[in-house]
Chains A and B, each alone.
Chain A
């Protein structure tokens, strides 16, 4: 197997015409799998590395006589949570079964070559504004060898490369990736480790060490640091100010706050999971004030 390690991996979406994740017009490749479990995560389908089923009963047209899925399930008693627990990723049979899009499978295996070819089709849109391919997730470096293979292939084809990382990944993988990246977006959620563990399910120690590594070893790489501002989690001047002070004065670095949104809540339902108890809205006025901490 060693010859093929990293050649292929699990991707859950490829999104062209991305405007807000790095320079120019970009194609984002979403790799499955994340070591963190942030309670506000807007891509719950990205967390497990293996393919998963989502089920939207509202879209199901069984009531109108549809039985195209009868070969794979009993739709009346079907639940995504149950199927995912049982199948543990072996859900290929559910792919393209449902004409109404009620049953969908998140994640499919693709090779690095296929992914970069798809991205390269969009290259006409990259050339005038430093656009290119962006790796995202999940945490793209969780499938580390695969991510590196994509970046190497992208570089072979002279594409501009970027990645969005939560920073919680193997340092050696990140080091190799940084050598292949033109731009990196790196999230810091909280500097207080105790609360970091509480809200994300993991410590921020490695995240901060990885960031220090990038600053010391890759001074030429632009680091765009981002913090999603989550009500009751980190929406305070203390928390955001602390990150601002941690970053201030560093070279080749920018800092952006992202407003909280709940676009992902529907997907929890499709996966048969519960969304965390987070207040519905981030206070607009508060967010405007916090924006002063951006760099």
Chain B
């Protein structure tokens, strides 16, 4: 080791080749870590079979019957060594199929999955045949993907799809609704833990009895909804009982007395939950796992249904058990880790190239929220909160994503333990700021008790489980492409002579920066138009293609109104959607470079810059150096930040006006997942000196390597570019990479806490850290076998570095590492 070099605990663990000690979950993890995921076809198979038999019936009922068919027929599993029963597919890492979504090209995609670079999957030849011959043909002409493509106007299609047989994404104005049935989501898990699915069934039966027998609406809309809730409750109870039976059988043939006792306990619990209310911590954890797993069977939710505020709704069970002497910290941690390894084996399978590339490293975010405030505004941290943090330090798996809510009165110990966990270096937890999120939720119509009780959902979003009602996945917009179209008068180099965008004039003819900026803003607004046209059609179509009887049965408003959650409008609901700015830093820096170098300092003309860009700056190194040297976002430099604030403001003004027309909130968000990589692949060299087809800047972070003034400056630039007077704001994702030396020792922890407090004071939404040495990433790229367990923070999640594509690895390496002076 070099002199005075500091390493994170994760780096030291890998250097020493250490495992996870004698942990039960560690042994399970070692059985599948690094293995290639396999496709399990049962979900696709039983849904397809059932759907063939229920054509013409109300969609919600068809969905419930398909779930019942799955529950009755699918394989069930109680894994060796596990304390928690249940998986949604075969042993090892697995992905499942949702042919109703984009199954129209399932047959083609299946052939490609084992070879693709981002998130590959294996499949057996028999299963591939079954998909090609039995599943795929049924769905052709029936999928949401095809319906959407047919519905959107010709002009909008140009920005959306390539003109190929699969209607693959063009990565300009990208809809994400055809690769997931719903936006990221959180259930109210408290309800089924309190009353069980027998309680939910009873509620549905009472409501059924109370229907107006003469009402056409009650008979054709409410009745099928309630019947589907009853069928779904029966389905999940049946499914759990099949696990109980399997555990019982395994116990009978088990010779090891200890394991036999464990299996008998699993059998007892699976007979009880989720049918009945949970009465112990163990029962609550098993019940919750069954419900979230069955949710995955039900539909493909963007980034998976998140776990909600686990340290809140599980705490009463933990506390009671602890007082009775039934459980201690280690026991609770072991049960949770048994769930974590089960989550880690489920892989969120995206068929489309876009889906796979947006969610690299087999990303899914069933975020666990900890900390924050109680519904009455007190600090919510409890003993269980610390067990979640401890588990992340001792067992740093990439699932679940851990999100720590921070507020003004977050206790010192909590912040200290959060900082210590971040210091481990595997990227957990990410932090979400109550004092930014809560006021925004209030401004969008929430009550205090709902806003204080929000759960982190997916990457960086926040949900109020009984109040949120918007399920349509939203557009990712490549605004760097809008900038390219401004330079090339509506064209992009990748697409040759095809005019895609507005013809705002030839670069040679712009006489002032304001003219150029105005042209860019028109392109930007035009992209918004197409995104909102897509969204209009997605909202209209979703109710014809998706139903969620399970999710709806866990939602207060849906049960009160007897409406499926995918209905276009649910009274009293708040529809919180968003649209995504991809390439924020890239666009700001490009505009700042043009303003400074071309129009202010007049060192080159725009025509010269365009010529250099057309040549990807090859042979034009002086021009590239000049534009790279111009002011850039992320440096607390008002020259660039004011441009950023203007772009943000224009978009907010657009959505303030037009999302009203759609009757929903579509708020401006800066959360890239890993999409800045594929979006970059269609954008040629940009005026900030970025070379052609390399990644765009990510989230609200600075362009790769452009932040030269340290991490405080990045936070201040974020602050400076936000328009706090608009409520139409959603998450901004912020990546900070620090060297382990910055956070060394107790003093380093204290200063990391100071930094987090300052981030909180600035009312920034989100922040996450990579504490790692650049050299470690480079070594991992060169020698992946030695670094299989290296976790890095990617977008809103952590992933195994070696499972990312080379492009994304390079992108992470190129993010500036901040060393303290």
Asked if A and B are interacting partners, one says: yes
Interface 1/0 per residue, B695-720 and A, CB below 8 Å = 00000000000000111110110000
Q: From residue 1 to 44 of chain A, which have CB atoms closer than 8 A to chain B?
A: 15-21, 24-25, 28
Contact indicator A100/B625 (Cβ below 8 Å): yes
Contact indicator A128/B748 (Cβ below 8 Å): no
Contact indicator B755/A25 (Cβ below 8 Å): yes
Docked CA distance A98–B60 (Å) = 67
Contact indicator B761/A16 (Cβ below 8 Å): no
Instruction: Give the residues in chain A near B750, CB-CB below 8 Å.
Output: 129
Contact indicator A18/B820 (Cβ below 8 Å): yes
Docked CA distance A127–B756 (Å) = 12
Prevailing SS type, chain B contact patch: helix
Contact indicator B626/A20 (Cβ below 8 Å): no
Interface 1/0 per residue, B577-616 and A, CB below 8 Å = 0000000000000000000000000010000000000000
Docked CA distance A61–B710 (Å) = 27
| Known pairs A25-B712, A66-B621, A284-B3; A129 contacts B754 (CB<8 A) | yes
> In this complex, what residue of A is CB-closest to B622?
A66
User: How many contacting A-B pairs (Cβ < 8 A)?
Assistant: 88
Q: Is B636 an interface residue (CB 8 A)?
A: yes
Instruction: Give the residues in chain A near B382, CB-CB below 8 Å.
Output: none
> In this complex, what residue of B is CB-closest to A15?
B821
Docked CA distance A17–B818 (Å) = 9
- Give chain A nearest CB distance to B1 CB in angstroms: 11
Selected contact of A25 from candidates B628, B709, B713, B758, CB within 8 Å: B758
| Known pairs A19-B748, A66-B622; A125 contacts B629 (CB<8 A) | no
Instruction: Give the residues in chain B near A65, CB-CB below 8 Å.
Output: 619, 621-622
Contact indicator B712/A125 (Cβ below 8 Å): yes
Q: Is A101 an interface residue (CB 8 A)?
A: yes
Docked CA distance A121–B635 (Å) = 12
Contact indicator A68/B622 (Cβ below 8 Å): yes
Q: From residue 533 to 588 of chain B, which have CB atoms closer than 8 A to chain A?
A: none
Q: Which of A21, A61, A124, A281 has the most CB of B within 10 A?
A: A124
Contact indicator B709/A16 (Cβ below 8 Å): yes
Instruction: Give the residues in chain A near B762, CB-CB below 8 Å.
Output: 124
Instruction: Give the residues in chain A near B821, CB-CB below 8 Å.
Output: 15, 17-21, 28
Docked CA distance A24–B757 (Å) = 12
Selected contact of B754 from candidates A18, A61, A128, CB within 8 Å: A128
Q: Is A167 an interface residue (CB 8 A)?
A: no
Docked CA distance A30–B137 (Å) = 71
Instruction: Give the residues in chain B near A24, CB-CB below 8 Å.
Output: 751, 754
Docked CA distance A224–B753 (Å) = 24
- Give chain B nearest CB distance to A244 CB in angstroms: 22
Q: Is A144 an interface residue (CB 8 A)?
A: no
Instruction: Give the residues in chain B near A19, CB-CB below 8 Å.
Output: 742, 747-748, 751, 820-821
Instruction: Give the residues in chain B near A15, CB-CB below 8 Å.
Output: 710, 821
Q: Which of B4, B750, B755 has the most CB of A within 10 A?
A: B755
Contact indicator A128/B757 (Cβ below 8 Å): yes
Contact indicator B636/A121 (Cβ below 8 Å): yes
Docked CA distance A131–B758 (Å) = 11
Contact indicator A99/B751 (Cβ below 8 Å): no
Instruction: Give the residues in chain A near B629, CB-CB below 8 Å.
Output: 99-101
Docked CA distance A66–B612 (Å) = 13
Instruction: Give the residues in chain A near B710, CB-CB below 8 Å.
Output: 15-17
Q: Is A64 an interface residue (CB 8 A)?
A: yes
Instruction: Give the residues in chain A near B742, CB-CB below 8 Å.
Output: 19
| Known pairs A19-B742, A28-B821; A125 contacts B755 (CB<8 A) | yes
Instruction: Give the residues in chain B near A153, CB-CB below 8 Å.
Output: none
Docked CA distance A127–B751 (Å) = 11
Q: Is A228 an interface residue (CB 8 A)?
A: no
Interface 1/0 per residue, B205-221 and A, CB below 8 Å = 00000000000000000
Docked CA distance A28–B821 (Å) = 9
Selected contact of B626 from candidates A18, A99, A124, CB within 8 Å: A99
Docked CA distance A19–B712 (Å) = 12
| Known pairs A15-B821, A122-B712; A128 contacts B626 (CB<8 A) | no
Interface 1/0 per residue, A40-76 and B, CB below 8 Å = 0000000000000000000001001111100000000
Q: Is A266 an interface residue (CB 8 A)?
A: no
Docked CA distance A121–B711 (Å) = 13
Instruction: Give the residues in chain B near A237, CB-CB below 8 Å.
Output: none
Q: Is A259 an interface residue (CB 8 A)?
A: yes
> In this complex, what residue of A is CB-closest to B756?
A128
| Known pairs A15-B821, A259-B4; A121 contacts B716 (CB<8 A) | yes
Docked CA distance A129–B419 (Å) = 15
Instruction: Give the residues in chain B near A61, CB-CB below 8 Å.
Output: 621-622, 625
Contact indicator A131/B754 (Cβ below 8 Å): yes
Docked CA distance A129–B758 (Å) = 10
| Known pairs A66-B625, A99-B629, A121-B636; A129 contacts B751 (CB<8 A) | yes
Interface 1/0 per residue, B747-788 and A, CB below 8 Å = 110110111011001100000000000000000000000000
| Known pairs A19-B742, A19-B820, A259-B4; A99 contacts B625 (CB<8 A) | yes
- Give chain A nearest CB distance to B569 CB in angstroms: 42
Contact indicator A122/B751 (Cβ below 8 Å): no
Contact indicator B622/A99 (Cβ below 8 Å): yes
Contact indicator B712/A20 (Cβ below 8 Å): no
Q: From residue 210 to 264 of chain A, which have CB atoms closer than 8 A to chain B?
A: 259
Chain A residues engaging chain B, CB cutoff 8 angstroms: 15-21, 24-25, 28, 61, 64-68, 99-101, 121-122, 124-125, 127-129, 131, 259, 281, 284
Given contacts A125-B758, A259-B4, 5 further A-B contacts (CB under 8 A): A17-B821, A24-B751, A61-B625, A101-B625, A124-B715
* Shortest beta-carbon contacts, A-B, top 8: A66-B622, A99-B626, A129-B754, A17-B710, A19-B820, A99-B625, A128-B757, A64-B621
Residue pairs across A and B with Cβ atoms less than 8 A apart, 8 shown, are: A17-B818, A17-B820, A19-B742, A19-B820, A68-B622, A124-B716, A127-B758, A129-B753
